[in-house]
Amino acid sequence: MSTTSRCYASALGECDSISREHVVTRSLFGDGQVLTSGLRVPPNTPIGIDSLVATILCAKHNNALSQLDAEIKVLGDACLAYLRQGQSLQVKVNGPLIERWLLKLAIGSLASGWILGIKIAPPRAVVESLFGIRSLPPTVGMFGIAEIGRMVQRAEDVSFDFFMGQSAGSMGILSTVHGLPMLLSVCLDAPEQELRAQGMVRDIDVSSAALRRHPEELILSAGPGSARLSVLFDWSN
């Protein structure tokens, strides 16, 4: 990887003017202000959602990823509806698009300098995978998470936490979208083992976590017998 101060997809060519990219998809939030933690601002400081941007993509390449933002909005809206209505719901989403959205979140966090304090540009092969030009390598993939030590807080929030793997350049990105946990594994040697080794990630006990790559279904619920959200993943394309 290299440092960057321009569009991180410039290797694909045909860049135009730089744009203001929401590292975390804006449509996952309402209007107004949000509270953040872990960024270079005091925790729980109200910030306007439109200020949580970075100049890391040109307008052309930013727009080319709009289908990823649209798909995560489908998932996010279903989670919000479940939280607010307290009724059982079912939603079907495109698995590869959600997987690439998790990769977009990881790349954007690094390219913006949000994570390490310096801007890191992804290799061309990673960019091509993000834009659907080539398939994701077998060492990169999304996992559903079960058997966590405590129920993920049923709250209207979006979180993401990085942890380093045992091998050089490997990492995991644990993200929750309004209470639904997902893991993106990037070259982790043993994703389940390396996640469990973290013990606690934020307020989630993952010491006994069970992972399933490309899950057909993820469930969000308050416990046995309660209303639940069933998220069905289509991995056929």
Q: What total number of domains does the chain contain?
A: 1
pLDDT of 125 reads 94
- Beta bridge mates, 162: 173
pLDDT of 149 reads 65
pLDDT of 153 reads 55
pLDDT of 2 reads 46
Range of the domain at 124: 2-234
DSSP H helices in the chain: 59-64, 66-85, 95-111, 124-130, 191-196
Q: Report d(CA 54, CA 49) in Å as an integer.
A: 12
Q: Report d(CA 188, CA 70) in Å as an integer.
A: 28
Q: Return the amino acid letter for 114.
A: W
Intervals of the chain under pLDDT 50: 1-4
Task: Write out the two tokens for 16.
Answer: 């135009």
Mapping DSSP to helix (H, G, I), strand (E, B) and coil, where does residue 15 land?
coil
pLDDT digits (tens, 9 = 90+) for 98-145: 999 999 999 998 998 887 778 888 999 999 999 999 999 999 999 999
Mapping DSSP to helix (H, G, I), strand (E, B) and coil, where does residue 167 land?
coil
